[in-house]
Amino acid sequence: VSGAAQNLAAQLYASSEDILSRIKGYSQDGRITPAEKTDIISIYESNAKIIRKKEKQMKKSEIFASVLQTVSKITEIPVEKILSGDKAMETVDARFMAIKALSEKGFYPGEIARLMSRTKPGIRYLLSCFDDRIRSCRMMEINMEYIRRELEKN
């Protein structure tokens, strides 16, 4: 691969539109060959996956906030109430769903406990009995499906 191709591949952190337009320009003016263009795009696509993974790791607080907002929107329980110690059944159900959604998003029980001011054993317990609870409450099952769909969009 030529020096121009290596330089372009090294700039993978720029936006995808910028990279793709540079590749097109370099190819059109002969600075890189069609084979090099293919190589660069392949390198870019594989590195883009790594970058997306890193972005997700860097934005855990945003994911946490998004999950809570989604649960709040679907259940109509304010975020503050979900995070509180309120023991009303609707609030507890919303808290269960938020914890389950966070777990499905890849949060560890310890992280969830820290972010929600709960204990690790408490979070583990809620996750272990989630399926039993959802089977006993049809509305919770419906809400959880809506929450999953909404979070998939984000």
Residue 4's pLDDT is what?
57
Residue 34's pLDDT is what?
81
Residue 148's pLDDT is what?
93
| List of long-range contacts for 43-51, beta carbons under 8 Å, 24+ apart | 43/9, 43/12, 44/9, 44/12, 44/16, 44/19, 47/12, 48/12, 48/16, 51/12, 51/13
Question: 10-residue block means of pLDDT along the chain (154 residues)?
Answer: 52 54 75 79 72 61 91 96 94 96 93 94 95 91 94 80
